[in-house]
């Protein structure tokens, strides 16, 4: 997802904007550009490639110093990643500069109109039409905020726009529809960005920008209106983490730092969830107890790693609440005409709170009368705002594109929701709930123990750097863990990796087994699921007999797997449903180390963005 930064204040705008863009690099991009207002004019620079390429261009051809500026890191959608297609885009007179996230769906007809009126559009992008439209509207009203409102009413699609005009040198204007934009308010300065990480070094005071709203930034404050021009209610909030939380802290990669932060993130997500009487109190869950008692079905919607968290949640929800639970890919959900009604509880899981597929699934569910509970890591994002209730994870900023600590905290949140439903519906006794919460509280220490024993896993990963394929097997909650392990390897190492339910081996996948093929097997507890444990040991024997190189993830004390494991990764013994919290961690480390050994950038894998804000 593209990154946007805007600034009005007293500091050199270019320095502020470039620093902000650097903090948004984790979102993924293929070109970058900046523009500043100075000396009554507008100056811009943009280059394909990483920020380093843009900075080299600025060193050779510096921009004038001004206190108003905008910047952008682009993820190509309309048009290839070239210098010409990079943002900002200017009108023909060079007086308006625009940066944009999202997609303008009716850009083709708007472009044809502009061309017919004599405008010369030079890029392949949908964004450039906005610069020309703003120039036209500004020529009539001489007010950039009003010009933006008029233009936005003509646009279709999902977009965030940030613009400035040389004739209003102390104003930056932003607008959003279905795409994230947050305001930062400082002393004598103001900021716009896709993510608070861009301005957290300057201020922790933020404002949520709502759907179909326009914001005008000036040094002395901000004004927010709807696209219709009416004043809008805004909600301010305080960002509860500082800039150091978004920096590497001595690690080579953000991902390594975030893997190491998982014990704290798990513990933080549990904080304050149990009251003095021992009952769960999830403050953000604003759906009434009676409505939850009347629920007759739960549907989880999510994408990617969050979808795997949902698959694990299904086991906990059905076991603890006796409610049927479906887990759906959000990208497919509303297109298959799902059966929803007011007695359906939909759980939407998204780290960023801006995942477009999940947001559209949420809206479809609410249109059908269903209640929606969001599990999210980002305060003030769109999905929590549009849900009926939200349970925030407290993972802190996750910068690396491949999710690690967000996944573990999503699991914790899913367990808490399942227990809360069991408490409200009377399917779990208070002492049973407290026992599970105690086990969850113990998990952060167990994750720490796992992390302390990972050097053999790293050595193993480095030894497999030249392999083409790795398979992952699991049963019960181990199956989604296998899927997540395979996804991490695909994301980071660019290898063919697949996760399978181990019981499906004989139904096709065993044909893939060949000599020295690495196969990772997640083994269920022999205590909690003895029948499944015996079956998966049999699966390990089957693949080893056909030449596979077996990498077995098993509990401490499980000796039955030892004769069949070429490599054994031990994890602490935990209750069966909670095992994914410890079993996933070695697979994260394995993927990260293997990708590093192959020379890949694990924080910014090719072709991937941190948040997917277009369908």
pLDDT tens digits, 394-406: 888 888 889 999 9
Sheet holding 221-226, edge to edge: 89-90, 96-104, 157-165, 168-177, 213-218, 221-226
Higher per-residue pLDDT: 506 or 592: 592
Q: Residue 551: beta bridge partners?
A: 520, 567
Q: What is the pLDDT of residue 359?
A: 95
Active site residues: 2, 610
Q: What is the mean pLDDT of residues 580-594?
A: 98
For residue 323, the model assigns a pLDDT of 97
pLDDT digits (tens, 9 = 90+) for 18-75: 999 988 876 667 899 999 999 999 999 999 988 999 999 999 999 999 999 999 998 7
| Residue 1, pLDDT score | 57
pLDDT at 279: 83
Q: Binning pLDDT at 50, 70 and 90, where does residue 410 land? A: very high
Q: Give pLDDT tens digits for 535-551.
A: 999 999 999 999 999 99
- Average pLDDT value for residue range 474-483: 97
Decide which of 264 and 464 is more confident.
464
Average pLDDT of the residues in 328-356: 94
Q: Which domains does the chain have, with CATH numbers?
A: 3-246 (3.60.20.10), 254-451 (3.40.50.10490), 455-597 (3.40.50.10490)
Specify the pLDDT at position 125: 92
Q: How high is the mean pLDDT of the chain?
A: 92
Phi, psi at residue 139, to the nearest 5°? -65, -20
| Greatest mean pLDDT range, 246-250, 338-342, 383-387 | 338-342
The DSSP-derived string for 119-172 is ----SS-STHHHHHHHHHHHHHH--HHHHHHHHHTT--EEEEEEEEETTEEEEE
What is each CA distance from 580 to 287, 544, 572, in whole angstroms? 28, 24, 11
Look at strands 157-165 and 89-90 and give their pairing: unpaired
What is the value of pTM for the model shown? 0.74
How large is the average pLDDT for residues 323-343?
95
What is the per-residue pLDDT for 196?
86
């Amino acid at each position: 997802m593209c990154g946007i930064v805007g600034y009005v204040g007293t500091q050199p705008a270019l320095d502020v904007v470039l620093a902000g863009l650097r903090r948004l690099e984790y979102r993924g991009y293929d070109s970058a550009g900046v523009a500043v207002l100075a000396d009554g004019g507008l100056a811009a620079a943009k280059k394909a490639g990483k920020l380093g390429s843009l900075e080299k261009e600025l060193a050779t051809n510096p921009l004038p110093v001004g206190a108003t500026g905008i910047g952008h890191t682009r993820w190509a959608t309309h048009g290839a990643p070239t210098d010409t297609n990079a943002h900002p885009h200017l009108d023909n007179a060079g007086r308006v500069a625009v940066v944009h996230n999202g997609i303008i769906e009716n850009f083709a007809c708007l472009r044809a109109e502009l061309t017919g009126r004599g405008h010369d559009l030079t890029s392949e992008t949908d964004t450039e039409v906005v610069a020309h439209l703003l120039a036209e509207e500004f020529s009539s009203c001489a007010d950039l905020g009003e010009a933006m409102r008029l233009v936005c009413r003509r646009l279709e699609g999902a977009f965030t726009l940030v613009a400035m005009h040389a004739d209003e040198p102390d104003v930056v204007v932003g607008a959003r529809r279905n795409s994230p934009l947050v305001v930062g308010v400082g002393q004598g300065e103001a900021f716009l960005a896709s993510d608070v990480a861009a301005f957290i070094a300057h201020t922790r005071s933020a404002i949520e920008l709502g759907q179909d709203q326009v914001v005008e930034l000036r040094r002395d404050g901000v004004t927010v209106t709807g696209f219709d021009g009416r004043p809008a209610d805004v909600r301010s909030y305080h960002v509860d983490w500082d800039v150091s939380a978004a920096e590497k802290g001595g690690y080579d990669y953000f991902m390594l730092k975030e893997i190491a932060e998982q014990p704290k993130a798990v513990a933080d997500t549990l904080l304050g969830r149990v009251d003095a009487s021992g009952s769960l109190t999830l403050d953000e869950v604003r759906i009434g107890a009676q409505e939850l008692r009347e629920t007759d079905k739960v549907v989880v919607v999510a994408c990617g790693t969050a979808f795997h968290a949902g698959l694990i949640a299904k086991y906990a929800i059905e076991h603890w609440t006796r409610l049927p639970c479906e887990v759906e890919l959000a990208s497919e959900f509303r297109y298959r005409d799902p059966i929803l009604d007011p007695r359906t509880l939909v759980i939407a899981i998204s780290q960023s709170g801006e995942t477009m597929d999940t947001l559209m699934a949420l809206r479809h569910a609410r249109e059908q009368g269903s209640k929606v509970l969001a599990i999210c890591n980002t305060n003030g994002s769109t999905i929590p705002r549009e849900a009926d209730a939200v349970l925030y994870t407290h993972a802190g900023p996750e910068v690396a594109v491949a999710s690690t600590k967000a996944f573990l905290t999503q699991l914790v949140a899913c367990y808490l929701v399942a227990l809360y439903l069991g408490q409200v519906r009377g399917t779990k006794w208070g002492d049973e709930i407290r026992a599970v919460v105690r086990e969850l509280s113990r998990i952060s220490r167990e994750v720490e123990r796992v992390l302390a024993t990972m050097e053999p896993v790293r050595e193993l990963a480095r030894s497999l750097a030249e392999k083409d394929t790795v398979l992952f097997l699991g049963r019960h909650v181990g199956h989604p863990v296998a899927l997540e392990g395979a996804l991490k390897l695909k994301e980071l190492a660019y290898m063919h990796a697949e996760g399978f339910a181990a019981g499906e081996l004989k139904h096709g996948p065993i044909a893939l087994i060949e000599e020295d093929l690495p196969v990772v097997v997640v083994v269920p507890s022999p205590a909690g699921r003895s029948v499944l444990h015996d079956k998966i040991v049999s699966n390990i024997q089957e693949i080893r007999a056909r030449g596979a190189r077996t990498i077995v993830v098993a509990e401490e004390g499980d000796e039955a797997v030892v004769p069949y494991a070429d490599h054994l990764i031990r994890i602490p013994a935990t209750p069966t449903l909670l095992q994914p919290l410890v079993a996933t961690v070695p697979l994260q480390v394995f993927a990260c180390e293997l990708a590093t050994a192959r020379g890949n950038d694990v924080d910014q894998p090719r072709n991937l963005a941190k948040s997917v804000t277009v369908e």
